[in-house]
Amino acid sequence: MGTVTIGVSIAVPEPHGSLLQERRAGFGDPAASGIPTHVTLLPPTEVDDSALPAIEAHLIEVAAAGRPFPMRLSGTGTFRPLSPVVFVQVVEGAEACAWLQKQVRDASGPVARELQFPYHPHVTVAHGIDDEAMDRAYAELSGYEAEWPCAGFALYEQGADGVWRKLREFAFRGAVVPPQASAPERDTTLPTR
């Protein structure tokens, strides 16, 4: 038995996810290539690997209690000087994200934990890089806009190489998670007679 580092987040779908990840790399953030673009629900948390089945069962319950909601990103913000982070703001869907993260971290669940800072849903686009690059990220993405229907969230594990990989998706009750950009689309038209 060992420990693993997990996180729970809402993926920013394509084409927005790749675009923001590329921009983050372009600002010189070395972590960009190992972190899919996301809104955090559970920050990096070390757990015993034997707890993963219980964590997945808990996340199934959280997803079953959730409902799809609109997500909209607009403009930039920063946690500086408290924390060296520039982010794209969640301007719609923030209340739903706050509710979800509270359910994920519920005191009766397998990943109960306190947060270092008050929860503030956001999409990081620069972290721990020099001030000039942080200022550039803040300015260049200030007009950024994206929106999509949020239909669920996912559990991720951080590998020994520092890369975060998706373990499992959790769809809200009655919701269908949209296919990833690389998945071929099905023809759903009905045949005509």
**Tens digits of per-residue pLDDT, 162-176?**
999 999 999 998 554
State the pLDDT at residue 117: 87
Terminal-to-terminal C-alpha distance of the chain? 60
Looking at residue 96, its pLDDT comes to 96
SS3 content of the chain, % helix, strand, coil (to 5): 25, 35, 40
Contact status, residue 150 vs residue 93, Cβ threshold 8 Å: yes
Q: pLDDT tens digits for 76-131?
A: 999 999 899 999 999 999 999 999 999 999 999 999 999 988 999 999 999 999 99
- Residue with token string 């270092």: 116
pLDDT value of position 173: 84
- For the purposes of burial, counting CB atoms within 10 Å of the CB of 55, is it exposed (0-12), middle (13-18) or buried (19 or more)? buried
For 44-82, the pLDDT digits (tens) are 999 999 999 999 999 999 999 999 999 999 999 999 998
Q: What whole-number percentage of the chain has pLDDT above 90?
A: 85
Determine the length of the chain: 193
The band of 155, judged by pLDDT with boundaries at 50, 70 and 90, is: very high
- pLDDT above 70: residue 20: yes
